[in-house]
């Protein structure tokens, strides 16, 4: 099976897998896409993000935010007020995932219908 659209010649399987693995390394796990969705919906503070995602542990959220910042998906902004205010914003680079996120959303709706008949 060839995953690349529009190509009719055989593409080596490994050549297809490497970019997919790279992408999954960045967005893997059950939290990163949910965190990014929350941030893109305007939740900028740690507690806002945590409240918007049911069952996420603060320690896990902190680790995932750091990882996402390293991968340039989000930017951490520190406002030097008293008390210090920290905000997280989605980067332009992370917005390139929007189509992927929308496809995951659509697939998830259809998968739920498939399993539950709803």
Domain of residue 89, CATH code:
1.10.10.10
Give the CA count within 13 Å in the CB-facing half-sphere of 89.
4
Tell me if 4 is assigned to some domain.
no
76 is a domain residue:
yes
3-state secondary structure 30-90: CCHHHHHHHHHCCCCCHHHHHHHCCCCCHHHHHHHHHHHHHCCCEEEEEECCCCCEEEEEE
State the pTM of this model. Answer: 0.85
Q: Which residue segment(s) compose the domain that 27 sits in?
A: 14-116
Q: How do residues 68-109 score in pLDDT, each as one tens digit? A: 999 999 999 999 988 999 999 999 999 999 999 999 999 999
In which band, very low, low, confident or very high, does the pLDDT at 17 lie, cut at 50, 70 and 90? confident
Q: What is the mean pLDDT of residues 13-42?
A: 93
Confidence of residue 32 (pLDDT cuts 50, 70, 90): very high
Q: Stretch 4-13: mean pLDDT, rounded?
A: 59
User: What's the number of domains the chain is made of?
Assistant: 1
Q: Would 9 be classed as within a structural domain?
A: no
């Amino acid at each position: 099976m060839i995953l690349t659209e529009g190509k009719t010649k055989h593409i080596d399987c490994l050549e297809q897998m490497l970019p997919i693995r790279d992408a999954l390394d960045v967005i893997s796990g059950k939290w990163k896409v949910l965190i990014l969705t929350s941030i893109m919906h305007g939740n900028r503070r740690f507690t806002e993000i945590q409240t918007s995602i049911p069952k996420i542990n603060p320690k896990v959220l902190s680790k995932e935010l750091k990882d996402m910042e390293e991968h340039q998906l989000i930017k951490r902004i520190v406002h030097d007020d008293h008390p210090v205010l920290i905000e997280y914003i989605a980067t332009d680079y992370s917005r390139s995932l929007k189509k992927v996120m929308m496809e995951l959303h659509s697939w998830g709706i259809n998968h739920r219908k498939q399993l539950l008949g709803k």
